[in-house]
Amino acid sequence: MGSPHPGDAAPDFELTDQRGAKVKLSDLRGSVVVLAFVTSWCPFSQAEQPHLASLADQYRGQNVKVLAVDIKEADEGYARYLARVPMPIPVLRDRTGEVVASYTPDRAQPAIKDRAAVLVTSNLVIDAGGRIRFFTMADTANFDADLVFVRRAVDDLLRSASGSRG
Amino acid sequence: MIPRSLAATARAAGLVFGVFAVILAALTAGVTGCAAAPTPRPGPSAMSERPGLRGSVRPEMGSPQPGEPAPDFELPALAGGTVRLSSLRGAWVELHFTGTWCPYCDVEIAHLGELSVDFAPRNVKVLVVDLQEEPEVWSAYARQRVAPSLIALQDRTGAAAIRFAPPRAQPSFTDRAQVLFDATLVIDPAGVIRVFLLPDTAHFDPSFRGVRVELDRQMRGSTVIAAEPVRRAPGDLLAPDRVVDLSAAVRPPERPEPAEMLVVRLAIAPGYHIVSDHPPDPFSIPTVVRASAEGLEFGAPVYPAATRVGALSVFDGTAEVRLPLHRAPVQAAAPTAIAVYVRYQACTESRCLAPVRKGLTVAPP
């Protein structure tokens, strides 16, 4: 499908969250980062949302940052996403879709012209060195609403980090 | 003349299971058929393995499934008035659910227009149903994107879509109508679902290539009401669809059962039995009875006690399956005829026949 894929450096970005704070991905080096691309209108994003919120709670106190990126929505849609479930994580806003499109593999879903839309309800796990270690594009027939595979990827990274320290 | 070939494969489990595969091959250069490779198991799940038909609902998701009657609906059309699905009986119907925001749906909708033009001479109606959006959003979008050859409908509340949502598909979705976004169904002239695909983004087929091939195949294959072509069993065995005589009636409430009951009677030919509704062998094909009608709701079917024959669990003689029946609230339309669907696999002492699906219609109570 082309780049980026697991093993590649995660494209850097700086976006603003719901409280107006700027978040720059490269500032989070040293932490495991979960990155979820979401929209208010996608039923799969909606089903996943409470689990994304609980992911942050689950890893509280550990070296894990969970970020959601809302894709190209008007104020109304962005507000609807935030209102649906209390989100204890930064919900960043990519108004143009440029940041998200920088993550879209070139040959993924070639029929879809809006390249940012290809990644709606896609999840990544990025290691402490800023490399993509896990990347699932929306897979509706094998939908993992509970984020079981994301948690597994995070656990693997935390385990290998503690192993290398000890 | 439809070329068919029958391939049987044997399987030892105290019995010999006959597995029949019907292959419909194109009539080209004197080729009238070809042998099918033996398949370990038939069944609707095989459809999901076919290229272009990934995302097919799987039996474990629950009803509706291919082979069962399509739930009916009546929805407002963009062109004015309403369209009732059952009024299209006699035509093949492709039914597609869409949302203007859905990027996959948006790519598909142009191809859906092409498909409707290509198949119009063969009496195929293509319905596209917008789900849960404001009417002005849909009409503005449709002006730009929906071909006039499509029958554009709107399910504002999702009430029609919900009736199509298999209960165990996308279990994380609390709004069950949303399960149908981007779903595609093919419904035959008798109103029976033949293809039911839920979105499978990992195998996205924007131009409906797989559906076109399957629609063509199904249209050549059958004009009968039964979901499967009638098949003759080898030797002196009854054809599998002749083993069970079906009848059904609505019985008034009787103590201790407070509800009206739809009683479906399966009269099984002497010398035969059918697999029960809960066979212990996971490879056996259980008997399934379902019913549907506008304005009526049916409870879970209550099957009779099964007879144990060695490791098998079977019905023989006459088996009565009862479904509690409830009338929908008064504002709903008067009940329509009840469509009853039965699937069974019949066996003799020494062998099993291909599973069959049968249906019948019962007058409303």
In a domain, A5, yes or no: no
**Nearest by Cα to B301 from B250, B262, B335:** B262
Q: CA dist A11 to A99, A124, B249, B261, Å?
A: 8, 12, 66, 63
Q: Which residue of A109, A120, A141 is in closest CB contact with B55?
A: A141
- Determine whether the interchain pair B200/A48 forms a contact, defined as Cβ–Cβ distance below 8 Å: no
- Determine whether the interchain pair A141/B199 forms a contact, defined as Cβ–Cβ distance below 8 Å: yes
Chain A residue at shortest CA distance from B132: A41
Q: Which residue of A41, A47, A111 is in closest CB contact with B172?
A: A47
* The CATH number of domain B42-221, selected from 2.160.10.10, 2.40.340.10, 3.90.1300.10, 3.40.30.10: 3.40.30.10
Q: How many CB atoms lie within 10 A of CB B99?
A: 24
User: Residue with structure tokens 């509704």?
Assistant: B277
Residues of A in contact with B133 (CB under 8 A): none
Contact of B37 with chain A, judged by CB distance below 8 Å, is answered with: no
| Interatomic CA distance for residues B222 and B43, integer angstroms | 18
Residues of B in contact with A111 (CB under 8 A): 107, 204, 206
Contact of A107 with chain B, judged by CB distance below 8 Å, is answered with: no
Contact of B170 with chain A, judged by CB distance below 8 Å, is answered with: yes
What is the reported pLDDT for B276? 93
How many structural domains comprise chain A? 1
pLDDT at B165 over 50: yes
- In A2-61, the residues whose Cβ lies within 8 Å of chain B are 39, 41-43, 46-48
In a domain, A2, yes or no: no
- Determine whether the interchain pair A118/B206 forms a contact, defined as Cβ–Cβ distance below 8 Å: no
| Interatomic CA distance for residues B239 and B314, integer angstroms | 19
Contact B69, B185 (CB under 8 A): no
| Interatomic CA distance for residues B26 and B52, integer angstroms | 18
pLDDT in tens, B205-241: 888 988 888 888 888 754 333 333 334 445 678 888 8
pLDDT at B355 over 80: yes
Q: Say what percent of chain B tops pLDDT 90.
A: 45
In a domain, A120, yes or no: yes
Q: Which residue has the higher pLDDT, B250 or B11?
A: B250
In a domain, A7, yes or no: no
In a domain, A18, yes or no: yes
pLDDT in tens, B86-140: 999 989 999 999 999 999 999 999 999 999 999 998 889 999 999 999 999 999 9
Chain B residue at shortest CA distance from A39: B101
Domain ranges for chain B = 1-40, 42-221, 240-362
Distance from CA of B73 to the nearest CA of A (A): 23
Contact of A146 with chain B, judged by CB distance below 8 Å, is answered with: yes
Distance from CA of A110 to the nearest CA of B (A): 10
| Interatomic CA distance for residues B187 and B8, integer angstroms | 29
pLDDT in tens, B144-163: 999 999 999 999 999 999 99
Contact B132, B180 (CB under 8 A): no
H helix or E strand, kind and range, residue B291: strand B288-292
Angle, CA of B222, B227 and B232, to the nearest 5°? 75
* Average pLDDT of the residues of chain B: 80
What is the reported pLDDT for B158? 97
Residues of B in contact with A140 (CB under 8 A): 55, 182, 198-202
In a domain, A87, yes or no: yes
CA A113 to chain centre: 21
- Determine whether the interchain pair A141/B204 forms a contact, defined as Cβ–Cβ distance below 8 Å: no
What is the reported pLDDT for B14? 32
What is the reported pLDDT for B23? 31
- Determine whether the interchain pair A141/B172 forms a contact, defined as Cβ–Cβ distance below 8 Å: no
In a domain, A9, yes or no: no
Superfamily in which the B240-362 domain is placed by CATH: Thiol:disulfide interchange protein DsbD, N-terminal domain (2.60.40.1250)
ipTM of predicted assembly, 2 dp: 0.87
What's the average model confidence in pLDDT over B165-182?
94
Q: How many CB pairs under 8 A join A and B?
A: 56
3 state DSSP class of B108 = helix
Chain A residue at shortest CA distance from B198: A141
**Nearest by Cα to A82 from A72, A103, A68, A94:** A68
What is the reported pLDDT for B21? 32
What is the reported pLDDT for B235? 60
Angle, CA of B97, B101 and B103, to the nearest 5°? 80
* ω into A88 cis (within 30 of 0): no
Angle, CA of B113, B115 and B117, to the nearest 5°? 75
Query: Which structural domain, as residue segments, surrounds residue A60?
Result: 14-165
**Nearest by Cα to B356 from B113, B131, B43:** B43
pLDDT in tens, B16-30: 333 333 333 333 333
Distance from CA of B199 to the nearest CA of A (A): 6
Query: What is the DSSP-derived secondary structure letter of residue B116?
Result: H
What's the average model confidence in pLDDT over B331-348?
79
In a domain, A43, yes or no: yes
For residue B13, what pLDDT band results from cuts at 50, 70 and 90?
very low
Query: What is the DSSP-derived secondary structure letter of residue B229?
Result: -
CATH number, domain of A68, equals 3.40.30.10
pLDDT at B293 over 80: yes
What is the reported pLDDT for B33? 33
What is the reported pLDDT for B335? 66
For residue B285, what pLDDT band results from cuts at 50, 70 and 90?
confident
Distance from CA of A95 to the nearest CA of B (A): 16
What is the reported pLDDT for B140? 96
pLDDT at B330 over 90: no
Which range among A66-75, B57-66, B343-352 shows the weakest confidence by mean pLDDT?
B343-352
* Regions of chain A short of the pLDDT cut 50: 166
pLDDT at B47 over 70: no
Contact of B133 with chain A, judged by CB distance below 8 Å, is answered with: no
- Determine whether the interchain pair B103/A139 forms a contact, defined as Cβ–Cβ distance below 8 Å: no
